[in-house]
Amino acid sequence: MPDVGESAPSFSLLNQKGERVELKDFKGRKLIIYFYPRADTPGCTTEACGFRDDWAEFEEGNIGVVGISDDPVAKVAKFHAKYNLPFDLLSDEGGKVGEMYDSYGEKKMYGKTYMGVKRNTYVVDSKGKIIQTYFKVKVADHSKKLLEDLRN
């Protein structure tokens, strides 16, 4: 698991348009990497729309945002379009990037064990170092909490 002060694990994933997006594309600016379990579910929609609704503040702060799930590109694209999201959603089928960020692995629900995405967020500085981490994120006002923490 990457800790605060360590370099963010490099990634190269396809976005909602099928275009490759890499960590290095954000060099020189802060980046929020948030992992979400499933496109177009209530919690994931609340979280994504929070970032969308606060987008002007992220842009003012020169802060990039990417959402990562293990959904295929087609599902990510549909979710992105449905909610008119202004940032990239990335497809991590198989969870390899999620594993590097301790955000993919064994989960339990209703007595069943399965592999899936854990709702975690990482803030990366302009040099690629992790400066903040959030685990088991509560989706309500997550975007506003990040903005507040980044101001302080």
Instruction: Quickly count: other Cβ atoms within 10 Å of residue 100's Cβ.
Output: 16
What are the respective helix, strand and coil percentages of the chain, to the nearest 5?
Answer: 30, 30, 40
Catalytic residue selected from 32, 44, 48, 73: 44
Active site residue 44: yes
Quote the strand ranges of the chain, DSSP E. 12-15, 20-22, 30-35, 63-69, 88-91, 104-109, 112-117, 121-124, 130-134
Which residue carries 């594309």 as its tokens? 25
Q: In the numeric block, which tokens belong to residue 13?
A: 């994933």
* Residues recognised as catalytic: 44
